[in-house]
Structure 1
Amino acid sequence: MTVVRTVLGDVEPAALGAVDAHEHLFQVSPLLPGDELDDPERSRQEAASLRGSGVAAMIDATPIGLGRRPAEVAAISAATGLGVVASTGIHREAHYGAEHPLRGWDAERRAAAFVRDLVEGMPEHDGPDAGPALHEGEPVRAGLIKTGIGYWSIVPFERATLVAAAIAHAETGAAIMVHLEHGSAGHEVLDLLERLGVAPARVMLAHADRLIDPGHHAELLARGCALGYDGMARWRDRSDHELLELTAAVVERGFDRILLGGDVARASRYVAYGGMPGLAYLGARYLPRLRERIGDEVVERMLVAHPRALLAIRG
């Protein structure tokens, strides 16, 4: 039997609904000074706006060591009705300072932490004296493994995380999300994970759309992986029109295993923290244009069927 493991417990995949496949309710990183997501009430308000835009659930892609606050994520999920699949894992090296304790963890220790988060539950914080994260007396468990690499680079720190992710995947069946910096090295990530025993069908390559290249995306999708398109409203880098046309071009090539998210990711882009455009942008402003461009049926697969398949885990 397979389930989707949310912060409020396991649910049948068919009950998941439309999924925003990449967001962060809490995140603290040395790469984002002054842009921390660390206020439970403001994050609750933002989650409520996402739910109000027609999205039923989200993947919270904040992994170990970046202020993920699982008990408060569960409380936000319960208060707003927004389903949340939390992440274990470790991000790319640049998110961890020179003295961060994770730098001393080998692949086996990382894998053990990932399995613990997925099976037993996450700690209330990532410090050495943390107790279990609980919601109404029940453990708050992760449902996905988040990893990351640098720009055309997989340094030893990141390779150890990918090895650990493969170990944890083999033990739990959980899917692996990989942050691609500027969309680079997708084939290389898939090659490495395949050598480690992970089928591409259990991998999502996040930020693939930061590289506008439909032929390259079709090549990746032909290998069986999922691609994360999460760059809407990033007009400094590319327009929504470019992303819509990229998506249409990939669909026209016969592929649509694309998961949609906003990766808003920082206080200056959350309305509740005083920024913009906010989590509701995906549902309220981008999805109507995407439906008009490629049709309701394809968009529903991207929002419902493909996340459901990716997030299925052994119950």
Structure 2
Amino acid sequence: MQSRREFLQSCLATPLLLNNFRYSDEKIITVLGEVTTSQLGPALIHEHILVDFIGADKISSNRWEHSQVISKVLPYLTEIKNRGIKTLVECTPAYIGRDVLLLEKISKQSGIHIITNTGYYGASDNKYLPPWAFRETPVQLARRWISESVNGIEGSKIRPGFIKIGVNPGPLSPMHQKLVKAAALTHLETGLTICSHTGPAIPAFEQIELLEKEGVHPGAFVWVHANSSDTNNFIKAAKMGAWISLDGISDDSLLKNAEIIHLLKTENLLNKVLISHDAGWYKPGEENGGEFRGFTTISDKLLPLLKTKGFTNADLDQLMLKNPVQMLSVRVRKT
């Protein structure tokens, strides 16, 4: 009989490659340029390198030194690379610490694909929105985001690989409806997937409805922080085609998330599930960037736990490889 340690080691030794998965010809956009879907590899779809919550009116890249951030972060990326992870989706939006030149350096030094975003984050009562977000129309905001997609971010040649917005937990305010409409217009022009910091079900379904009115299929929408709702809502949204992002996975939430993933599998919806930690978080202003949470809980604990629940290697590849590829592939998804 295997010991627990031997069992975990055998699980971790299983390669994250889907034998029968046929890649499409679609592209995925990283901070180092376009890659094919076959190059993406196993991915963590919602993590953070650096986040600065000082506010849109005060934030500046002068608040951190690239060399200090890199020194702190690289060992954590080496950990996941050694576990077979090849891609990290960096979800920090503009005006909360998005620094694409920093991400470019980290990607080159770590050998990990890093994917950044365009869009604006309206959650936390609009504290992280630039002034023009309040006065411009959805079309004008979309033009800004489309320009980043076509021309590069902040004068660089680095392009976003997805759209990141954020809304408050309750019914969508007019401001947040505008962000969703701008995201819809941007998707229809660029094919970038919309990842929305959402949480509860009310704003999730309101966003899906609004996107559909704008001609965008729910398959272009990621319900970020879906852990905040209940499983009946997960199932409903997934059946509509939306992506269910269980992105707060930690040691404390392992069992709960494993149960949710198992339930979605029994509903034949495993192909709509995304998993990640929402970890990292170098924090400017705190000594040495503050406490930084690593990205290994899924590899070391969740995947072995799922195997005890009957998940096959193909199931794990669905979660870690196939679903991220399908979600991040650049293509327009219309109603």
**TM-score, shorter chain, exceeding 0.5:** yes
Instruction: Indicate the residue corresponding to 2:11 in structure 1.
Output: none
CA contact under 8 A between 2:195 and 2:222: conserved in structure 1? yes
Whole-angstrom distance in 1 between the partners of 2:128 and 2:107: 34
Q: Secondary structure at the match of 1:49?
A: helix
Structure 1 residue identity aligned to 2:195 = M
Match of 1:20?
Answer: 44
Counterpart for residue 283 of structure 1: 299
3-state SS in 2 of match to 1:25 = strand
CA distance 1:205–1:17, change in 2 (3 Å): same
Question: Matched residues in 1 for 2:129 and 2:192: separation?
Answer: 30
Name the SS of the counterpart of 1:283 in structure 2: helix
Q: Shift of residue 96 of structure 1?
A: 4.3
Contact 2:167 2:196 in 1 (8 A): yes
Q: Secondary structure at the match of 1:115?
A: helix
Deviation at 1:250, TM superposition (A): 1.3
2:189 pairs with 1:165: no
**Post-superposition CA distance 1:132-187 (Å, at most 9, x none):** 12xxxxx1110100112111221222211111111111111111111113455322
* Amino acid aligned to 1:232: I
Whether 1:119 and 2:150 are equivalent positions in the alignment is yes
Is the Cα–Cα contact under 8 Å of residues 122 and 129 in structure 2 kept in the other structure?
no
Q: How far apart in 2 are the matches of 1:277 and 1:244?
A: 20
> How far 1:234 sits from its partner (Å)?
6.7
- Report the counterpart of residue 174 of structure 1 in structure 2: 192
Among 149, 153, 157, the residue aligned to 2:171: 153
1:10 and 2:10 matched: no
User: What TM-score comes out, normalization by structure 1 length?
Assistant: 0.84
In the alignment of these two chains, the number of paired residues is 292
Q: Which residue of 1 aligns with 2:79?
A: 49
The match for 1:127 is none
User: Partner of 1:94: helix, strand, or coil?
Assistant: coil
Within 2, Cα distance between the matches of 1:276 and 1:42?
8
Q: 1:221 offset after TM fit, Å?
A: 0.7
The letter for the 2-side match of 1:181 is: G
Give the number of the structure whose alpha-carbon radius of gyration is greater: 2
Alignment of 1:183-222 (within 5 A): 184-211=202-229, 213-222=230-239
Whichever residue aligns with residue 209 of structure 1, its letter is: N
Q: For the Cα contact (< 8 Å) 1:147–1:178, is it kept in 2?
A: yes
SS at match of 1:178: strand
Distance 1:244 1:17 in 2: 22
Residue of 138, 149, 158 corresponding to 1:140: 158
Report the Cα distance in structure 1 between the residues aligned to 2:331 and 2:151, rounded to whole angstroms: 14
> How far 1:314 moved relative to its partner?
5.1
Could you list the runs of 5+ residues in structure 1 that have no partner in the other structure?
Answer: 124-131, 134-138
Contact 2:142/2:186, CA 8 A, preserved across alignment: yes
Distance in structure 2 (CA, Å) of the matches to 1:168 and 1:309: 19
Specify the alignment match of 1:60 in structure 2: 90
Task: Determine if contact 1:183/1:209 at 8 Å carries over to the other structure.
Answer: no
Amino acid at match of 1:4: I
**Aligned-residue CA RMSD (Å):** 2.6
Give the drift of 1:311. Answer: 1.1
CA contact (8 A) 2:137 2:178 kept: yes
Q: CA deviation at 1:56?
A: 0.9
Structure 2: where are the runs of 5+ without partners? 1-24, 56-60
Which residue of structure 2 lines up, in the alignment, with residue 128 of structure 1? Answer: none
Q: 1: CA distance between counterparts of 2:292 and 2:128?
A: 32
Identity over aligned pairs, percent: 22
* Separation (CA, whole Å) in 2 of partners of 1:184 and 1:50: 35
Change (3 A) 1:41 1:109: farther
Structure 1 window deviating more from structure 2 (305-314 vs 255-264): it is: 305-314
- Report the Cα distance in structure 1 between the residues aligned to 2:86 and 2:169, rounded to whole angstroms: 33
Q: 2:139 aligns with which of 108, 116, 125?
A: 108
Q: What is the distance in 1 between the residues matched to 2:318 and 2:99?
A: 31
State the secondary structure of the residue aligned to 1:77: helix
